[in-house]
Amino acid sequence: MTHERPTLLSLGHGYSARALAARLIPEGWRVLGTGRRPETRARIAETGVEPLPWEAEPVTQALREATHLLVSAGPDDEGDPSLRLLGEAVADKARDLYWAGYLSTTGVYGDHHGAWVDETTPLAPTTRRGEMRVAAEAAWGAIPHLPLHVFRLAGIYGPGRGPFEKVREGRAERVVKPGQVFSRIHVDDIAQVLAASIERPNPGAVYNVCDDDPAPPQDVIAHAAELLGLPVPPEVPFEEADMSPMARSFYSDNKRVANDRIKAELGVELIHPDYRSGLRALLEAEPA
């Protein structure tokens, strides 16, 4: 690491980026994070991160001061918003960055009928969202000399993003589609993977970020109910479930995502290797 104060610019400073910042700031890092709305920037400031509006001039200036770059903002209908905002500035800064990370999704692999995929699996997205992620990965990877690391995240859960509220309120459904599994990752493990990559840069690397236990979604809901001591919600066939088109589309992909690379290359030992560990920790952390 350099002798200058390490400075992370976080574009689209959301849930995963906040978890990383919570690790870095106590270690002496300066973190700057963007937020589009004033109320978002106010919440960012409360965490010790310096808030920035989503505007070219202040973000470009922050990029000049950054030693590290994290891109969390996902693509929209027009492509990657971060590249639209400051693509030329990133190209100019690329040689001077120690590390850059792009948060992608395991959706880029598409549907594999429950089979295992790893980072060498060809990308074959089945949704428009997945196609746009593939394009965004390629666009960032095409910037010369950018020390880019791509992190393909599984379904994210953690504080404020768990099944307990729905189970308590009786709104949870155990949607069953035979053979369907999803991979997941606790936000604390995302943060430790990113931190480990920052410590061991390997430009060009791609990492799947998921736990050890791809599992049917209905099993997760059942376990949450059992932890709460509440009745397990009844099963609902996928075809009959009351789901938004967005939620239903996630069931078009069925795969098990391998995470060997984060362990072998980054030395990561997962805090929550399965959903049972993660849910138990979330419940124990709730206020009494």
CATH code for position 198? 3.40.50.720
Asked if residue 242 is part of any domain, the answer here is no
pLDDT of residue 2: 44
Asked if residue 232 is part of any domain, the answer here is no
Report yes or no: 177 and 89 within 8 Å, Cβ to Cβ.
no
Residue type, 13: H
Q: How many domains does the chain have?
A: 1
Asked if residue 218 is part of any domain, the answer here is no
Q: Report, in angstroms and rounded to the nearest whole number, the Rg of the chain calculated over CA atoms.
A: 19
Q: Mean pLDDT, consecutive 10-residue segments, the chain of 288 residues?
A: 79 98 98 96 96 97 98 94 95 97 98 98 95 97 98 96 94 95 98 98 98 97 97 95 89 97 98 98 91
Give CA–CA dist 227/96, Å, rounded. Answer: 49
Backbone angles phi, psi at 116, to 5 degrees: -80, 145
Asked if residue 89 is part of any domain, the answer here is yes
Q: Which position has the token pair 């792009």?
A: 102
Q: What is the dihedral of CA 88, 94, 100, 103, to 10 degrees?
A: 30
pLDDT of residue 287: 85
pLDDT of residue 261: 98
- Strand 256-257 relative to strand 174-176, pairing: unpaired
pLDDT of residue 121: 98
In angstroms, the Cα distances linking 150 to 16, 72, 106 are 14, 11, 11
3-state secondary structure of 92: helix
Q: Tell me, what DSSP letter sits at residue 202?
A: -
Asked if residue 195 is part of any domain, the answer here is yes
Report yes or no: 174 and 234 within 8 Å, Cβ to Cβ.
yes
Residue type, 246: M
The whole domain housing 189 covers: 7-158+184-212+256-271
Asked if residue 231 is part of any domain, the answer here is no
Per-residue pLDDT of 25-75, as tens digits, reads 999 999 999 999 999 999 999 999 999 999 999 999 999 999 999 999 999
Asked if residue 219 is part of any domain, the answer here is no
Asked if residue 115 is part of any domain, the answer here is yes
Angle between helices 81-93 and 56-65 (to 10 degrees): 40
Angle between helices 217-228 and 275-285 (to 10 degrees): 40
